[in-house]
Structure 1
Amino acid sequence: MAMNLPWLDPGDPFPDVSSAWGPLEPAPGLLAAGGALDVETLHRAYSHGIFPWFSEGQPTLWWSTDPRMVLYPAEFQLHRSLRKTLERFAIRPGCEVRIDSAFDAVIRACSTSERPGQSGTWIVAPMVQAYQAFHSAGFAHSVETFIDGQLVGGLYFIAIGRAVFGESMFARQTDASKIALAALCALCRHHEIDFIDCQQNTRHLASLGAREIPRPEFVAQVAQRAREPGPQWQFDPVYWNELLPAKTRA
């Protein structure tokens, strides 16, 4: 670790996000190390556009990347193949989206999913435990894709008021994680929640309509939305109408 990276003791305030490492430093976006992974610290971090991300054997590392990858639900790209998948899913008996019925199963599935180009996972045991506590406190949620009673894919996200932060997805069947993301976008459209944080740029996210915005713009949006009361995190099948013409569900 570089000497100019702040070390946090539990309860210490986070440095200003503008002090995060820049593009010419070893880990752009790295803000601090140490601290705690308790509910209060996680709430404070996300409310300021900061997230934890570290691997086995590393201390807790805190990040605030610039630019920030954001998916605006109004800009979600429903490509032809995914549209057809959703049209079938929305009308087929036994296919359903649930929220918060299997959070532990979702985060554990995300933690064991293989990622292209990665030899391990950043969702290490302390992270799983921390987000389980965050879920119990009402700030972490899961969107689950079920087919015939079986969990086949999903994602988990953080919600502070109306500020939404996507974390990780998994799929055991083709497009099962994309169905969960589409459901989250539909729910957000219905409740007029206008952005979902995606943290870092990937080709997959860009193909779905996510784009980069400057960190100051992102932090300002988070600060405003985090103060607004959030919705009840429940999924009603009628929300598919936010993405699909109503006639496809007749």
Structure 2
Amino acid sequence: MYYLSPDLFFPPVDQANRDGILAIGGNLSPERLLLAYKSGIFPWFENGEPIMWWSPNPRMVLFLDELIISKSMRNILNRNIFTVTFNENFRDVISNCQNIERDGQNGTWITNDMIEAYCKMHELGIAKSVEVWQDEVLVGGLYGIDLGHVFCGESMFSKVSNASKVAFIALVNQLKVANYKLLDCQVYNPHLESLGCREIDRIDFMEILKSK
């Protein structure tokens, strides 16, 4: 495992350990964060821990044409009970992702330092958000890092049923129009799988990431 110096550097991703941890330390400056995502790396740690940088193998991704929208979800979309916006309330979205209760989790990995770091990335136009509204109340959303051809999803939240799915579908539709190559979802979970995401080898992910 590599211990980062103040220099702006990450080791090759194939040096990550079996769990996907590549390096420890460094900081959350915009320059380091952008280098990390462009290199197939992302931070993931909890309060009281050093910054931990990950590059898991396999990698969970969505090829945009493989999005699965169930019949029940299509009915919800057709009813227009939600309104979707983009990049209007980034801080509220990431704060809700931090505070939402999740099954099987005692806390959150989104620290206050991470919120401030990603808000800086948003000010630079690199971090993006999707907001889902119901009766003018923010009820769901997601955020991530936009690399121009790959969108790296970070977290999403839902205060009412299906709101996060609406955000996810809206993002995918926007990425398809802009001819993005894929949506990076980082690590496996069954909810993502139900939406059409699947695991691919890290080597294949890196080839896509490095292509333009």
With structure 2 as the length reference, what TM-score do the two structures score? 0.97
**RMSD of equivalent CA atoms:** 1.0
Q: Is the contact between residue 9 and residue 36 of structure 1 (CA under 8 Å) also seen in structure 2?
A: no
Query: For residues 23-43 of structure 1, what are the alpha-carbon distances to aligned partners after superposition, in whole Å with 9 as ceiling and x for unaligned?
Result: xxxxx1000000110000001
| Residue in 2 that maps onto 1:19 | 15
CA distance in structure 1 between the partners assigned to 2:111 and 2:128 by the alignment: 18
* Identical-pair percentage: 43
SS at match of 1:167: strand
Query: For residues 184-214 of structure 1, what are the alpha-carbon distances to aligned partners after superposition, in whole Å with 9 as ceiling and x for unaligned?
Result: 0111121221310000000110111000000
| Residue in 2 that maps onto 1:194 | 181
Query: For residues 34-81 of structure 1, what are the alpha-carbon distances to aligned partners after superposition, in whole Å with 9 as ceiling and x for unaligned?
Result: 011000000100001000000011000000000000011210000111
In the alignment, structure 1 residue 6 sits paired with structure 2 residue 6: no
CA distance in structure 2 between the partners assigned to 1:78 and 1:166 by the alignment: 18
| Residue in 1 that maps onto 2:111 | 124
Q: Is the contact between residue 15 and residue 31 of structure 1 (CA under 8 Å) also seen in structure 2?
A: yes
- Unaligned regions of 5+ residues in structure 1, if any? 23-27, 226-250
The structure that is strand-richer by fraction is: 2
- Unaligned regions of 5+ residues in structure 2, if any? none
SS at match of 2:121: helix
| Residue in 2 that maps onto 1:133 | 120
| Residue in 2 that maps onto 1:210 | 197
SS at match of 2:94: helix
| Residue in 1 that maps onto 2:60 | 69
Question: For residue 133 of structure 1, what is the amino acid of its counterpart?
Answer: K
In the alignment, structure 1 residue 78 sits paired with structure 2 residue 66: no
SS at match of 2:31: helix
- Deviation, structure 1 residue 11: 2.6
1:1-250 pair list within 5 angstroms: 5-22=1-18, 28-89=19-80, 95-225=82-212
Aligned length: 212
Q: Is the contact between residue 181 and residue 208 of structure 2 (CA under 8 Å) also seen in structure 1?
A: no
CA distance in structure 2 between the partners assigned to 1:31 and 1:204 by the alignment: 26
Question: For residue 172 of structure 1, what is the amino acid of its counterpart?
Answer: K
Q: Is the contact between residue 141 and residue 159 of structure 1 (CA under 8 Å) also seen in structure 2?
A: yes
Question: For residue 8 of structure 1, what is the amino acid of its counterpart?
Answer: L
Question: For residue 61 of structure 1, what is the amino acid of its counterpart?
Answer: M
SS at match of 1:55: coil
| Residue in 2 that maps onto 1:235 | none
- Deviation, structure 1 residue 10: 2.5
- Deviation, structure 1 residue 9: 2.1
